[in-house]
Amino acid sequence: MNRLHQLFQEKKNLLSIFFTAGFPNLNDTQTIISELSKSNVDFIEVGLPYSDPLADGPTIQDSSQIALQNGMNLDIVFEQLKAIKETNSTPLVLMGYLNQLLKYGEDKFCQACVDCGIETLILPDLPMIEYENHYQQLFQKYGLTNVFLITPHTSDERIQKIDSLTDAFIYVVASSSITGAQGEISNQQIAYFERIKAMNLKSNLIVGFGISDKKTFDTACQFANGAIIGSAFIKNVESTGVNGIIDFIKSIK
């Protein structure tokens, strides 16, 4: 049982925070993880800066571009995460894109994750058929779990298939758009959450995209095991720096 599995068994209303490694400054990655851990965030989603982040909105895209300009690359990310492994007790989830894994080398990438204490990956553009035919076996070899995303347009049949392939959690995308704060959760989104909850899936559910404050977080938690906040957190770091992290988390939970 990995740490994320244990976390889902022990707690409800889990709060996860997404941030881009190397933003706002190249060496802020470890500081941000440390501050989030002090704030009792349940797990942390570390974003790998990428030049073409298709699933991300302007805020995360900008943070990714700044991180790349700062000189961030996968070698440095893995070095930073490995350096904090022994002192960090908060589970880390790595979010990136399939091309990053391919260019780095599949086995080299997976081994680097293991060396850093990473147990779970989110690769939004990983096709399910590729996962079944190849990556499921590869990830199992290294003890890694994979997270699939579903949206309001995902068919029940595909959701059931994803549920059967899920070992970590299903990422419930709150809207059909890219990431970014959307204001309040709409009645249409609540109907979507209710539809997913009524399916009685075996997998844990985490809501993301558009979760930005206590109100939207609390609403999402009515229908899932917790929620991820990304763009709103990055905006806060941009405006207040790493010193404002603890106050931001207190405003949510």
Instruction: State pLDDT tens for residues 54-71.
Output: 666 788 999 999 999 999
Q: CATH code at 179? A: 3.20.20.70
| Residue partners of 219: CB distance under 8 A and separation at least 6 | 185, 190
Helices (H), the chain: 3-10, 29-38, 58-69, 74-84, 98-104, 106-116, 128-130, 136-141, 156-165, 187-198, 214-221, 231-240, 245-252
pLDDT for res 178? 47
Helices (H) and strands (E) in the chain, counts: 13, 9
User: Residue 166 is part of which domain span?
Assistant: 3-252
Q: Range with the lowest mean pLDDT among 34-38, 43-47, 177-181?
A: 177-181
Q: Which of 52, 56, 119, 156 is catalytic?
A: 56
Q: Which of 28, 35, 42, 45 is catalytic?
A: 45
pLDDT tops 60 at residue 241: yes
pLDDT for res 180? 44
Catalytic-residue membership of 75? no
Mean pLDDT for 93-108 is 97
What mean pLDDT value characterizes the chain?
93
> What SS3 state is found at 205?
strand
Mean pLDDT for 50-57 is 72
Catalytic-residue membership of 247? no
Exposed/middle/buried for residue 235 (C-beta within 10 Å: 0-12, 13-18, 19+): middle
Q: Structurally, how many domains does the chain consist of?
A: 1
Length of the chain in residues, anyone?
253
